[in-house]
Amino acid sequence: MTNRDLNLMVGVGLQLEKNDSGARYFVELLGYRVGEGVIISAPLEHDNRLSLAHGDEVTVRYLGGVSQYAFRTKVTHISTAPYLHVHLEYPGGIEATMTRRAVRMPVKESVIRLAMDDDGHKLPVEMKNISMGGANLIAPVKLGELGERFSIDMPTLSPDKKKAITLPCVVRHISTQRQGEASIFHHGVEFIDVDSLARDFIGRYIEYRSAG
In degrees, to the nearest 5, what angle opens at C-alpha 74 toward C-alphas 72 and 76? 150
What are the sequence ranges of the domains in the chain?
13-98, 105-211
When pLDDT is averaged across residues 47-69 and rounded to a whole number, the result is 81
* Whole-prediction pTM: 0.52
Render pLDDT for 153-206 as a digit per residue (tens, 0 to 9).
887 766 555 677 888 888 888 998 887 788 888 888 888 877 777 777 787 777
Looking at the domain that runs over 105-211, which CATH code has it been given? 2.40.10.220
Q: Tell me: domain 13-98, CATH 2.30.110.10, correct?
A: yes
Closest CA to 25 of 68, 69, 49, 60: 60
Contacts of 63 (CB under 8 A, 6+ apart): 69, 99, 200, 203, 204, 206, 207
What is the predicted pLDDT for the residue at 144?
83
Contact 148, 159 (CB under 8 A): no
Cβ-contact 183, 200 below 8 angstroms: no
Query: How crowded is residue 163: how many other Cβ atoms within 10 Å of its Cβ?
Result: 12
